[in-house]
């Protein structure tokens, strides 16, 4: 018990990487609101303003998202370069919104219903970004299934062919590829 108390005390003296990133993200978001034309306060910020912020961040992205007219649209591993734009990866935007939501709640920004970062429009926007990026790369986004407790039989033979088509080139591999390139 004493070790846990010491760990908690030491973590309060130096913020974790997550806390530092959350603080940087929050300061960037507040700076964006301040520089907005006209300047916005947090209380006047809406889900639409948050989506504008996410679109603004696209200019700093590193993920190639092929446009429909590109010959490599839908090709998982393009054989050559193209002029398609670089964007923020869906996973980066999703985790950014998570950190900003947590920061909003920590500063006591009001009721959870008043949190502009939790607006339904943002969830819809993120879903569209995820689907667009998956189509552009030709790799479907597979929602990870919950792991269930293994039975004794499954534990003895985990590769019995009932993996739902996962394997070489299957949906399980493509989910790994998407998560590897999004981070």
Say if residue 137's pLDDT is above 90: no
Answer whether residue 97 is part of any domain. yes
Say if residue 160's pLDDT is above 80: no
pLDDT at 89: 92
> Which of 59-68, 81-90, 136-145 has the least mean pLDDT?
136-145
Answer whether residue 132 is part of any domain. yes
Say if residue 103's pLDDT is above 50: yes
Answer whether residue 107 is part of any domain. yes
pLDDT at 172: 40
Answer whether residue 102 is part of any domain. yes
Strands (E), 65-180: 86-87
Q: To 10 degrees, the CA torsion angle through 171, 175, 177, 179? A: 180
Quote the pTM value.
0.67
pLDDT at 12: 58
Residue identified by tokens 């479907």 is 140
pLDDT at 76: 82
Answer whether residue 118 is part of any domain. yes
Number of domains in the chain: 1
Cβ contacts of 74 within 8 Å, gap of 6 or more:
66, 135, 136, 137, 138
pLDDT at 175: 34
pLDDT at 33: 95
Integer Rg of the chain from CA: 21
Say if residue 153's pLDDT is above 60: no
Answer whether residue 89 is part of any domain. yes
Q: Name the token pair of 84.
A: 């398609």
Residue 39 backbone dihedrals phi, psi, to 5 degrees: -55, 145
- 18-39 confidence digits (pLDDT tens): 999 999 999 999 999 999 999 9
Q: Name the token pair of 82.
A: 């193209």
pLDDT at 148: 73
Domain that holds residue 120: 17-137
Answer whether residue 146 is part of any domain. no
- 64-75 confidence digits (pLDDT tens): 899 999 998 988
- 116-133 confidence digits (pLDDT tens): 999 999 999 999 999 999
Answer whether residue 41 is part of any domain. yes
């Amino acid at each position: 018990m004493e070790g846990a108390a010491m760990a908690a005390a030491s973590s309060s003296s130096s913020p974790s990487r997550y806390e530092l990133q959350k603080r940087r993200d929050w300061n960037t978001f507040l700076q964006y609101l301040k520089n907005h034309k006209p300047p916005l306060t947090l209380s006047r910020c809406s889900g639409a303003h948050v989506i504008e912020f996410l679109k603004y961040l696209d200019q700093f992205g590193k993920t190639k998202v092929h446009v429909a007219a590109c010959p490599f649209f839908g090709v998982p591993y393009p054989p050559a370069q193209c002029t398609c734009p670089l964007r923020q990866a869906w996973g980066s935007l999703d985790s950014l919104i998570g950190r900003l939501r947590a920061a909003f709640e920590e500063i006591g920004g009001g009721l959870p219903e008043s949190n502009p970062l939790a607006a339904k429009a943002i969830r819809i926007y993120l879903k569209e970004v995820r689907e667009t990026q998956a189509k552009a790369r030709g790799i479907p986004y597979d929602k990870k299934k919950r792991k269930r407790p293994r039975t004794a039989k499954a534990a003895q033979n985990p590769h019995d062919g009932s993996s739902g088509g996962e394997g070489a080139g299957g949906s399980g591999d493509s989910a790994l590829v998407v998560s590897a390139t999004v981070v």
